Every structure is written in structure tokens, then in C-alpha cells.
Amino acid sequence: MEEIFKENEVVINEIKNNYNIDEINIICKGPTAKYIEKSIGINQAIIFTDCDFLFLNDFESLFGIEHLLYKVKYVFCPDFPHVKCHPDINFSYLNLIDYLNNFNFNGKIFIYQIQKTLSKNINTKYKFESHTTTDIPIQFFKRFFYTNKFNLYGFKNGSGYHDSFNPNNMNYDTVLKFNEKYKNYYNFYLKNISNKNFIIKEPNNIGIKDKIFYKDKNDTILVDIHIIKF
């Protein structure tokens, strides 16, 4: 197996042996985000979880949660994480790992590929189709653990973010205090997020049921999604 994917099977086996994976709660960044015990965090929404699982497609999704990285057990990221919304041949998962390590990260890394990978070597076992980071855990748990039930919080509730991610409430400037070389990424991210609406909506337990399809040359995935709506 390629060096890049060396920890993936270890991560899969540890999850299989230590977690209940029959039903997965996923916390996203939308207005109905809330703390759910034993859940999975998408990007900075890890603040609403126990910090075991962090899924991200973009490097800048680490900004503002540096103080939690020492608690994270598993980080899932692409071989070429997006920077400024796009993959960059000069910025790979190794750069992301370097950043993690500066904040006492002691967990494991699961590396995957998405359709925008810049690698010429495609590993179909670990390749996913992704239009948003939330796609990744759904495909991951379906593919490797046959999970069919997912509850999503803070997802499909408009373009706004939960107020917890407001720059006035998040410690986004940690990156500047750490190292000036990330200042360019930080300024781009801060400008982007400052244009968002920040609101809070109380979720209810009625929700709506949805079905999400993923199709690629490896598999077609159909799962039951319970989107918690306002």
C-alpha cells in the first residue's frame, strides 16, 4: 500500500472495534447545529462534538479550533486539501499534518482522494465523490461499515452559519499568533466567512427524511438521511 494511505486500515479497524456505527450523527455548521454526544464534526462544527472525528476538505477548516486539536482522535482529509477553495500542487496533506502537529495533535490521519485530486495515482478504495465535506463521512461509513442511517444537524438550512462560528465568537486569530506563513490563507478565510449570516435555530426531532445517492465507478450508495430541520 502506498505510504500516503498507511494509517487508513488502522483507522478503520479501530473504529470497528471501538464505536457503535449502526447510526451516525453528523454535525455541520448550519443554524441548527447543536452538541450531540458521540457525533462526528464537519469542519469547525467539531466544537459541538466530543472531538473524536474531524472531517475536512479545506485546510482553512482548522482555523479557530486549534485549541481542540490535541483531543481529536481521527482527522479525515484529502491528499490535496483545498486552500482558498481549490487544490494546490504545493499544498498536500503533509502541510496539513505539519500544522496539526504544532498544536499537539496525537491522533491518526485518514487520507482520501476526491474528484479534484491532483495526484496521478488514484486509489479507488479511498476515492470519494464530494460536493461538500458532509458527503465524505456518509460515503466512508457506508463503504467500510455498511452504515445506512445518518442524522444531520446544521445541514440544508439556508446559507447561514450557526452564530458560534461568527468571527466575534471564534478564536480565528490563533493562526496569526502561531506563524506568519499562514497569514495569506487566514486573511482569505476571514474575508470569506465574514460575508456569511450568523444565526441560531433550535432544531426539532421531527426533521425530514431524505435519500442521498452517490454514484461512481466503484459503487452506488443509497442511504437514509434524517435532516434535522427548524
DSSP 188-212: HHHHHHTTS-EE-----S--EEEEE
The C-alpha cell that represents 121 in the structure block: 495515482
In this model, does residue 107 exceed pLDDT 90? yes
Closest CA to 78 of 121, 125, 133, 13: 133
In this model, does residue 223 exceed pLDDT 70? no
Residue 205: predicted pLDDT: 46
The C-alpha cell that represents 20 in the structure block: 457503535
Residue 66: predicted pLDDT: 92
Residue 208: predicted pLDDT: 43
Task: Over range 76-89, report the average pLDDT.
Answer: 95
3-state secondary structure of 46: helix
Q: Give the Cα separation of 80 and 117 in Å (integer).
A: 6
What sign has the CA pseudo-torsion 32, 36, 38, 41? positive
Query: Which residues on neighbouring strands pair with residue 58, listed in sequence order?
Result: 82
User: pLDDT-based confidence at 147, cuts 50/70/90?
Assistant: very high
Q: Give the Cα separation of 169 and 89 in Å (integer).
A: 33
Secondary element (H or E) of residue 154: none
What is the DSSP-derived secondary structure letter of residue 53? E
Per-residue pLDDT tens over the stretch 117-131: 999 999 999 999 988
What sign has the CA pseudo-torsion 105, 110, 113, 119? positive
In this model, does residue 140 exceed pLDDT 50? yes
In this model, does residue 76 exceed pLDDT 90? yes
Residue 39: predicted pLDDT: 97
User: pLDDT-based confidence at 27, cuts 50/70/90?
Assistant: very high
CA separation, residue 58 to residues 7, 17, 86, 88, 144 (Å): 20, 29, 8, 11, 23
Residue 214: predicted pLDDT: 44
Residue 158: predicted pLDDT: 59
Give, rounded to a whole angstrom, the gap between the first and last alpha carbons of the chain.
45
What is the DSSP-derived secondary structure letter of residue 194? T
Q: 168 or 143: whose pLDDT is higher?
A: 143
Task: Show the domain range for 68.
Answer: 3-227
Structural domain total, the chain: 1
In the numeric block, the cell 472531538 is attached to 51
Residue 188: predicted pLDDT: 87
Q: 29 or 196: whose pLDDT is higher?
A: 29
Q: 188 or 199: whose pLDDT is higher?
A: 188
User: pLDDT-based confidence at 167, cuts 50/70/90?
Assistant: confident
Residue 3: predicted pLDDT: 80
In this model, does residue 100 exceed pLDDT 90? yes
Q: Give the Cα separation of 1 and 209 in Å (integer).
A: 39
Q: 214 or 35: whose pLDDT is higher?
A: 35
Q: Give the Cα separation of 139 and 189 in Å (integer).
A: 27
Task: Over range 13-39, report the average pLDDT.
Answer: 94
Yes or no: say if 56 and 43 are a contact pair by the CB < 8 Å rule. yes
Task: Over range 179-189, report the average pLDDT.
Answer: 81
Q: 202 or 6: whose pLDDT is higher?
A: 6
What is the DSSP-derived secondary structure letter of residue 16? H
